[in-house]
Amino acid sequence: MSERAQLRQARRLVIKIGSALLTNDGKGLDEVALELWVDQIAGLIADGVEVVIVSSGAVAVGMSRLGWVKRPDQLHELQAAAAVGQMGLVQSWEAQFKRHDIHTAQILLTHDDLSDRKRYLNGRSTLRALLDVGVIPIVNENDTVVTDEIRFGDNDTLGALVANLIEADGLIILTDQLGLFDKDPRKHEDASLVAERKASDHELDAMAGGGAGALGRGGMQTKLRAARLAARSGAFTVIVGGRIEGVMTRLRQGDVIGTLLLPEQGRVAARKQWIAGHLQTRGKLTLDEGAVRVLCLGGRSLLPVGVKSVSGQFRRGEMVSCVDESGREVARGLVNYDADEARAIAGRPSQRITEVLGYVSDDEMIHRDNLVII
């Protein structure tokens, strides 16, 4: 399978659209372009693709509605513009998708939502639930309350974090440039489009150069950083011109447009490498012989019924060590329940979780995608 064929095979995508595109370089929300993008996204959905949209533009739309020409420097003015603009932005997305009988949902995030493990997992569960019922989440940074200390920095980064959050196959960044060039095309007529590279390629750093326009916070450097962040969970990234006719349809067909930045490893392998090498264990689960066998030989998830005892204090989403009855570590993974909850349901079948806790977050104590065999 060619690398471009990955776009034809993708089943879950995050699509990020920048402020300059959405507002036609600050002239107001570009409803015509929005209609065309929505038609293409509806085509992706009809093809069985789950889509999350990361939509910039709240501040820019608010500036246009308020008659402000220059982006404000004061935080409270930016937040006011975002509050005004978010209303128009969400209404437009909802109206456009309604033509295709597709519902949308507004999701506003701050850095705290993705740095706190419990809120991270709750956010992931909400996004997955929306996708399961055919709703398109429209994600943006919560500019009305965010401060510089907890700002993502740009929506390219937010797009990559959302791709990690929902374990997307790919991130598509629609921008006002055709893609990443080996030189700044605004200054060099002989600049060539970079069609495909590994996201980790250090030669790309010199090519990215440049900064953002007047409306946005991100430039090509932030898009490259976002691609590398998305690659940590095995997602590819495409940086491509949003004004290219039929851009998303053409990408889906495997056309060579934009810049495709590839991860070093596939999604599951990259995620498990991250789990194995970058998180400290917070507790320990002692497993019975049957659970050890199905984990090591069967590639299965860990169910509560296979857990004999729980030690340590940990929260949902933190790393725990899985040991056999002799104390030998056999696996480690991200646990779906807090320590006290895990103790309460240890040794019990999954069907009884609701009876014991009064609710159920997951049937598994640790899902196989979040589990690494040692």
Q: What is the CATH number of domain 279-373?
A: 2.30.130.10
Strands 136-141 and 50-55 come out as: parallel
User: How many whole angstroms separate alpha carbon 18 and alpha carbon 24?
Assistant: 10
Please give the angle made by the CA atoms of 40, 43 and 49, to the nearest 5 degrees: 110
- Options 3.30.43.10, 3.30.1950.10, 3.40.1160.10, 1.10.3720.10; CATH of 5-267: 3.40.1160.10
Higher per-residue confidence, 99 vs 360: 99
Sheet of strand 196-198, all strands in order from the earlier edge strand to the far edge = 104-109, 136-141, 50-55, 12-17, 170-175, 236-241, 259-262, 196-198
Read off the pLDDT of residues 8-67 as tens digits, 9 standing for 90 and up. Answer: 889 999 999 988 888 877 677 889 999 999 999 999 999 999 999 999 878 888 888 888
How confident is residue 276, by pLDDT bands cut at 50, 70 and 90? low
- Number of Cβ within 10 Å of residue 280's Cβ equals 6
The reply to whether 143 sits in an annotated binding site is yes
Contact (CB, 8 A) for 279 and 272: no
User: How many whole angstroms separate alpha carbon 46 and alpha carbon 49?
Assistant: 7
Q: Check residue 115 and give its pLDDT.
A: 64
Q: What is the mean pLDDT of residues 281-286?
A: 93
Q: Check residue 278 and give its pLDDT.
A: 53
User: How many whole angstroms separate alpha carbon 263 and alpha carbon 88?
Assistant: 36
What is the length of the chain? 374
Domain positions in the chain are 5-267, 279-373
Nearest to 313 by CA among 279, 337, 286, 348: 337
The reply to whether 175 sits in an annotated binding site is yes
The reply to whether 288 sits in an annotated binding site is no
- In the numeric block, which tokens belong to residue 211? 């900064």
User: How many whole angstroms separate alpha carbon 123 and alpha carbon 118?
Assistant: 9
Read off the pLDDT of residues 108-152 as tens digits, 9 standing for 90 and up. Answer: 887 777 766 677 778 888 999 999 999 999 998 876 555 553 344
Q: What is the mean pLDDT of residues 172-176?
A: 93
User: How many whole angstroms separate alpha carbon 19 and alpha carbon 109?
Assistant: 17
Q: What is the mean pLDDT of residues 175-195?
A: 86
Task: Please name the amino acid found at residue 249.
Answer: T
- Of all residues in the chain, what percent carry a pLDDT higher than 90? 49
Read off the pLDDT of residues 293-335 as tens digits, 9 standing for 90 and up. Answer: 999 887 899 999 999 999 999 999 888 999 999 999 999 998 9
The reply to whether 155 sits in an annotated binding site is yes
